[in-house]
Structure 1
Amino acid sequence: MLDANLKKQLDTYLQNIVKPIEISVSVDDSPKGKELYELAAEIAEMSGKISLTDAADKRTPSMGVAAAGEVPRVRFAGIPLGHEFTSLVLALLQAGGHPSKADPALLEQIRNLQGEFHFETYISLSCQNCPDVVQALNLMSTLNPNITHVMIDGALFKDEVESRQIMAVPTVFLNGEHFGQGRMTLAEIVNKIDSGAAERKAAELNEKAPYEVLIVGGGPAGASAAIYAARKGIRTGLVAERFGGQVMDTVGIENFISVPYTEGPKLVASLEQHVKEYDIDVITEQSAAKLTSNGLIEIELASGATLRSKSVILATGARWREMNVPGEQEYRGKGVAYCPHCDGPLFKGKRVAVIGGGNSGIEAAIDLAGIVEHVTVLEFSDTLRADEVLQRKARSLPNVNIIMNAATTEVRGDGSKVVGLTYTDRKTGESHQVDVAGIFVQIGLIPNTDWLKDSEVKLTRFGEIEIDARGATSVPGVFAAGDVTTVPFKQITISMGAGATASLAAFDHLIRTSAGAEEKATA
């Protein structure tokens, strides 16, 4: 079942198992049941420390992973291949005693959690964000006997998906109640169930000494800026909600120079590893709320903590632009989606709409056409902005319909899920309705600068931070880089270069202000 190359890689990983583990399978005679049993048997044959047993479970097919003699606290309901194969490998290693590389303090926090926590995560095998959540909850279940987790492939357990009205992945339930949706880090999950964690963290951050350079944002621009600053030997900090930013939602990357093809999560992992090789104080799960400049530059965080620095580089990136029409927020995650790769499989055999005719919109339509019954693309303008090769491909597909001059005016729902949308023909003024189960919004990005609107940092009417050629903003000592700025092209490679530029400019600023202070002292 596993190809030779994958089997060779797996064999290398399994050498790290230090204590016996057991794979327990609950299967039937269905094709998927046989496929899961074949996968489990093949893995068990690869190591003398792995045994295979049968075990009844309420979900079939499913498999449990645990140390030998223990009841499995980690289960996979479905066949953990695709993006989830790594989740399976890590579960095997962790059950076999191989230590996690996560922050030791966070691991200890997990071990000390009190209470019963039974997690269920609904995923799709094409979702690039799902493995992070699955792996985090699997690790927690391995470390703490009061925690269990089951990954559930929504494509195999459609009745559950329908009954729980799951229309976006990953969707997590805790003790039977909705817990969260979308990408979540290990620290985010732990802090959400650990009361008092936020207060403890805020108090800890308030005690930090001022930085020489503080980067706000953890995407390509922020990572590049942090590395360039740290290489200068100055005290460097990086604060972000999560590492990676918008790149984590990017599937295929084919224009990153010297790398013919990579994927967003893989690139982010490399960036994070590179940053960790330097003496950089990385602070995640924190969002900036306010910037003030009074001698030192202060960044007030949403948690109530305040970080101080002699210079700051703003690299907060951008987020998906919303339609801002009635029903969009009400049905977000209930049919309104922003990631076709993640949520597309949940709409298999159904009719969907894609809003936007740029590259991302037409690429989404092409991808979805292979899964859903029909795709309707709505473009506001009278021309598509996507590359000609993408337009030709989309128009060649029999189940893709493209409507121009269409202004979406409403998302329609039945109270629990999307049932359609309303749009106005901009030429005739006529209103039309399209019945769809899902709406994928692909209309570009909006800069993450809401928190700066009351600051002295000058923004354009589009909310972008105005910068000069060196990345300097209107506030001395404050620089900016990446998609959050007025840089004309929003590309990963451009953001990295901009981050380096802003970092070098910040270092130059520190040198000049330090020299000026010394001259005044000796005058």
Structure 2
Amino acid sequence: MLDSTLTSQLSSYLAMLRQPIRLIASLDDSAKAGEMRELLGEIAALSDKVSFDESGSDARKPSFVIAKEGETSGVRFAAIPLGHEFTSLVLALLWTGGHPPKVEPEVIEQIKALEGEHRFEVYMSLSCHNCPDVVQAASLMAIVNPNIQTVVIDGGLFQEEVERRQVLAVPLMYRNGEVFGSGRMLLEEIVAKLDVKSDEREAARLNEKDPFDVLIVGGGPAGAAAAVYAARKGIRVGVAAERFGGQVNDTMAIENYISVLETDGPKFAAALEAQVRHYDVDIMNLQRADKLLPASEPGGLIEVQLANGGTLKSKTVILSTGARWRNVNVPGEQEYKNKGVAYCPHCDGPLFKGKRVSVIGGGNSGVEAAIDLAGLVAHVTLVEFADALKADAVLVSKLKSLPNVTIHVNAQTTEITGTDGKVNGLRYKDRVSGVETLVELEGVFVQIGLVPNTEWLKGDVNLSRFGEIEIDAKGHTNVPGVFAAGDCTTVPYKQIVIAAGDGSKAALSAFDYLIRQPVVLDAVDA
């Protein structure tokens, strides 16, 4: 199961175990159970601190639990955690074996203090790049707090269960039998959702912070670059981000960032955060901005009010809130979101194996999604509003060569239909003939561009008719001391490298603004 590279890596990691652990398998006669037996046997052979037996009797077969020596409960994998989940497997082994997690001590204490019984079921797919964050968070909670149980379930391995529960998007997290959350969630976000008093405590902590010289709202490529450039000036810098890395976290392959030949979104986002943390930057994650209050007088402090009730103050502010996937805004989209309507083909594509799906959008994102899905599903119907596909010619040529793809241009999506709580079709109108057609299918992937995250700024800074923050060549907004950068602005071409450059530019502009402010002397100095 493990190639020589993975075997070598795992052997090195297992040397870090501080106490013995058990791998207890619940197996049947299936081929997948044989693969799981082989994997667990290989792991146990790499360390004398790991034992393996098949004494488990869990209802989900095949599955295995990672437990401390002398115990029978721990993190359970109803999966063969390779691919994107190999790191999750390694971390679960290390944490169970006593190796400390790289998590802030206050978060660990918060997990330990959670009251009540929490039974988590995390549905994932091995090709999902957002799933490991949720898997690892739920695993750590189960290891730290004995009142928490976690089972990680591969939707592709337990398809009957997925069908029964209508799991049509991953990651999907159940708690005590009820849906707890869907999509990528950070450990701190999950813990905060369980700890009902966390917002109040967090708001009080934020209110006590001293004013910043530069406060950056948003932690994507633009925000990260702004933080690095500002911090290198030796001034007080803070970053308030809803999730560090922003939409980069949802990007599968990055192959056009100069000097980085190839990487993926989560790795790139982690590298951004690591570089920002290298400097003395106050990173405040899971913070959603709610209101911008410009300075009441020239040279005064600007305030940013947060959704949890906290307020941050700063001499300058850089807005880098990025953008999100655009909705198609037709009947059925919201009703069937995560019930057949999806936005990430890499994450959710495997859940539609052998089924019929549609992709809305004929740009690069839509065509790439259709090509990706065509290798998994029975048939792909691509629907494009314009009279031609807008994607790069090489992508269009590849798409047209696929036998299980149908392309409709001049096609206006009018409705996503469904029954029994899940999608069963897509209706579109031919913009030339006016004829409406219903395509029977099980999934719809929306890929029609981005919407800037600027609704909270209406009336405070000038926005374009598309909702983008209007800036000049140096990143200035119309508000003194407030700058903006990245996908939330009027700068054309929404690309990572452009956002990073604009973030750097905004930081330099903010510093230039600061050094040109009049010096206020104390009465004694005067």
TM-score for the superposition, normalised by structure 1: 0.98
Alpha carbons 1:73, 1:147 under 8 Å: kept? no
Amino acid at match of 1:123: M
CA-to-partner distance for each residue in 1:445-467, whole Å, 9 max, x for gaps? 11000101131x11100000111
How many residues matched? 521
Alpha-carbon distance between aligned partners in 1 of 2:100 and 2:319, rounded to the nearest angstrom:
35
Deviation, 1:84, is: 0.5
SS at match of 2:517: helix
Alpha-carbon distance between aligned partners in 2 of 1:435 and 1:118, rounded to the nearest angstrom:
37
What residue is the counterpart of 2:495 in the other structure? 491
Alpha carbons 2:336, 2:421 under 8 Å: kept? yes
What residue is the counterpart of 2:61 in the other structure? 60
Alpha carbons 2:119, 2:150 under 8 Å: kept? yes
Deviation, 1:277, is: 1.1
What residue is the counterpart of 2:290 in the other structure? 289
What residue is the counterpart of 2:457 in the other structure? 452
**Considering only aligned residues, what root-mean-square deviation do their CA atoms show, in Å?**
1.4
For the structure 1 residues 160 and 138, does the alpha-carbon distance in structure 2 shift closer, same or farther, using more than 3 Å as the test?
A: same
CA-to-partner distance for each residue in 1:454-507, whole Å, 9 max, x for gaps? 31x111000001111111111010000111111111111111111110001101
Alpha-carbon distance between aligned partners in 2 of 1:254 and 1:285, rounded to the nearest angstrom:
28
Deviation, 1:161, is: 0.8
For the structure 1 residues 158 and 296, does the alpha-carbon distance in structure 2 shift closer, same or farther, using more than 3 Å as the test?
A: same
Alpha carbons 1:122, 1:152 under 8 Å: kept? yes
What residue is the counterpart of 2:213 in the other structure? 212
Alpha carbons 1:119, 1:149 under 8 Å: kept? yes
What residue is the counterpart of 2:17 in the other structure? 17
Matched, 1:428 2:429: no
What residue is the counterpart of 1:109 in the other structure? 110
Matched, 1:264 2:265: yes
Alpha-carbon distance between aligned partners in 1 of 2:86 and 2:173, rounded to the nearest angstrom:
19
CA-to-partner distance for each residue in 1:138-189, whole Å, 9 max, x for gaps? 0011101111101000111111111111110011100111111000000110
Amino acid at match of 1:500: S
Alpha-carbon distance between aligned partners in 2 of 1:166 and 1:129, rounded to the nearest angstrom:
16
Pick the aligned partner of 2:478 from 474, 478, 485.
474
For the structure 1 residues 512 and 20, does the alpha-carbon distance in structure 2 shift closer, same or farther, using more than 3 Å as the test?
A: same
Aligned positions of 1:36-185 closer than 5 A: 36-54=36-54, 55-185=56-186
Deviates more, 1:87-96 or 1:24-33: 24-33
Amino acid at match of 1:441: V
Alpha-carbon distance between aligned partners in 1 of 2:207 and 2:402, rounded to the nearest angstrom:
57
Identity score, percent: 62
Alpha-carbon distance between aligned partners in 2 of 1:124 and 1:80, rounded to the nearest angstrom:
9
Deviates more, 1:358-367 or 1:412-421: 412-421
Alpha-carbon distance between aligned partners in 2 of 1:463 and 1:332, rounded to the nearest angstrom:
24
Deviation, 1:520, is: 13
Matched, 1:336 2:341: yes
CA-to-partner distance for each residue in 1:59-87, whole Å, 9 max, x for gaps? 11111111111222201001101101100
Q: Which runs of 5+ in 2 are unaligned?
A: none
Deviation, 1:352, is: 0.3
Pick the aligned partner of 1:310 from 303, 315, 329.
315
Alpha-carbon distance between aligned partners in 2 of 1:185 and 1:144, rounded to the nearest angstrom:
17
Q: List structure 1 runs of 4+ shifted beyond 3 angstroms.
A: 517-523
Alpha carbons 1:412, 1:420 under 8 Å: kept? yes
Deviation, 1:29, is: 2.1
Q: Which runs of 5+ in 1 are unaligned?
A: none
Amino acid at match of 2:198: A
Alpha-carbon distance between aligned partners in 2 of 1:197 and 1:450, rounded to the nearest angstrom:
25
Deviates more, 1:60-69 or 1:84-93: 60-69
Amino acid at match of 2:436: S
Amino acid at match of 1:405: N
Deviates more, 1:292-301 or 1:459-468: 292-301
Alpha carbons 2:68, 2:74 under 8 Å: kept? no
SS at match of 2:53: strand
What residue is the counterpart of 1:504 in the other structure? 508
Alpha-carbon distance between aligned partners in 1 of 2:523 and 2:347, rounded to the nearest angstrom:
58
Alpha carbons 2:111, 2:145 under 8 Å: kept? yes
Matched, 1:371 2:376: yes
Amino acid at match of 1:35: E
Alpha carbons 2:242, 2:285 under 8 Å: kept? yes
Alpha-carbon distance between aligned partners in 2 of 1:329 and 1:273, rounded to the nearest angstrom:
36
CA-to-partner distance for each residue in 1:197-230, whole Å, 9 max, x for gaps? 1111111111111111000001011111111111
Amino acid at match of 2:243: R
Amino acid at match of 2:302: I
CA-to-partner distance for each residue in 1:374-426, whole Å, 9 max, x for gaps? 00000000111111111111100000011000010111111400111111111
Amino acid at match of 1:242: R
